[in-house]
Amino acid sequence: MAITTSICSSPNQPPILPPLSLPTIPFTPLKTHHPLQLHLPFPSSSSKFGGNLVSNDALAIAAAAEALVLARAAVEAAIDAVAVTEEIGEVWSCRENGNESSGLVARRKMRRKRRKRLEALDEEMNRDVEDGMVSFGFVRYEHLSPREEAECCLSLKEGARLESERFRVVEAQEHEPTSKQLAKAMGMKMRSIDKVLCKRRESQEKIIRSYRGLVVSVASSYQGKGLSFQDLIQEGSIGLLRGAEKFDHERKWKLSTYVYWWIRQAIIRAIENKSRIIRLPGHVCGMMAKITKAQNSLNQRFQRLPSHDEIAEVIKVNASTIKLVCERSRPPISLDRVATVRGSMTLQEIIQGPEEMMPEKMLIRQLMKQEVEKLLKTLSDREANVLRLHFGLNGESPQSFEEIGRLLKLSRERIKEIEKGK
């Protein structure tokens, strides 16, 4: 790459620069302190397929690094050209004014400015390279052909069948089966079992790499609902593999169309089950989604917050149901939270506790226990024991007449008679 400028000068014209030639910038390998790492969701395999993927990754990264180096060289050359032009113009201006020393000072200033620009450029390019190395883990790989998709799905189905058989053996024997026991239960050879597991891992890697973009696209629509973006991608990948196991290639569907709904379902289920400290049932989460949609629609129409009756009229449910769902779906608040902005008193210090923990209630309950004990002492030991067991007066849970009869070796009818005082 060479940049040449040729400018003529005359006494009545502005200073014109002499020919300037920048040497061609040779290609140098990009140096970074961070090793190249691909963030894959599964460990790499030592098979031929895994080696081909690694080589393709290396080629892609090398091409990107070369592009960054060329871009850096172009920017450096442009900065050098502009800096030299400014420097010569400044020197020529000083000569016209008859001040040679000022021209020398100007040249030094321009060198310092150019050095600072190059240092800033180096830092910026290094940051771009580091960001690029991190983002390489999210690059979408080559598209799978229908035949490759069918082979991967069949491998996943075979692996799922093997996994279900392993669970069945675990339930029967109550311990993890060995490879020999699993092969015997499946009617296969141990070598065939290892081959199936290896193909399953390779197929999982292949499908997740190829449809990573689809998972990210679906997960981005559910951000800000209680789970981080990485968790959404992880749950979407699980749904992707589950959908690939159920995919039937003989129906001539596209795998991306089929697994889209599995990815979406996995993400929605994860938000319902894992986004809250206290889990809500699925029908409550569905009702809350309908309430939110109706509330947004009515808010735009009326330019105010709608009431429970207005929301209930839209989604055709009772207002009491709307109120109950809204109360149950409130996020929990920590009792250690500060009650006011300026003070240090927490909510735990000002919120009233359970009613039975109040001092006057505890005193009344203690007096009642003393009166009951006085009355029980007027009965026989067997009658008092039956009453204590039946009503839980001894601090334990109440028991039925049948349970008391087995304990005292009496019939159920006799226990009922004793309880009635007969």
Domain ranges of the chain: 3-138, 146-275, 283-328, 356-420
DSSP states of 261-274 as a string?
HHHHHHHHHHHHHH
CA distances from 10 to 15, 86, 317 (A): 8, 19, 90
Q: What is the pLDDT along the chain (422 residues), one digit of tens a residue?
A: 444 444 444 444 444 444 444 444 344 444 444 443 444 444 433 343 444 433 444 455 555 555 665 666 666 666 666 665 665 665 555 555 555 555 566 667 766 766 666 566 556 545 544 443 333 344 445 578 888 888 888 888 888 888 888 888 777 777 777 777 777 777 788 788 888 888 889 888 889 988 988 999 999 988 888 889 999 999 999 999 999 998 988 887 888 889 999 999 999 889 888 888 888 887 888 888 889 899 999 999 988 999 999 999 999 989 899 998 888 888 888 888 888 878 788 888 887 766 666 778 888 888 998 998 998 889 888 888 888 888 888 878 888 888 898 888 888 888 888 888 77
**What is the fold of 146-275?**
Four Helix Bundle (Hemerythrin (Met), subunit A) (1.20.120)
Q: Which CATH architecture has domain 356-420?
A: Orthogonal Bundle (1.10)
Instruction: State both tokens at 129.
Output: 């390279």
Question: Quick one: which of 156, 121, 146, 180 has its CA closest to 238?
Answer: 156
* Burial class, 290, CB count within 10 angstroms (exposed 0-12 / middle 13-18 / buried 19+): middle
CATH topology match: 146-275 vs 356-420: no
Cβ contact 68:30 at 8 Å: yes
Which parts of 275-380 fold into alpha helices (H)?
282-302, 308-315, 319-328, 347-350, 359-376
* DSSP, res 249: G
3-state SS assignment for residue 224: coil
* CATH code of the domain occupying 283-328: 1.10.10
Distance (Å, whole) CA 130 – CA 122? 12
The pLDDT of residue 356: 61
CA dihedral sign, ordered 237, 238, 239, 243: positive
CA distances from 304 to 298, 312, 336 (A): 8, 16, 33
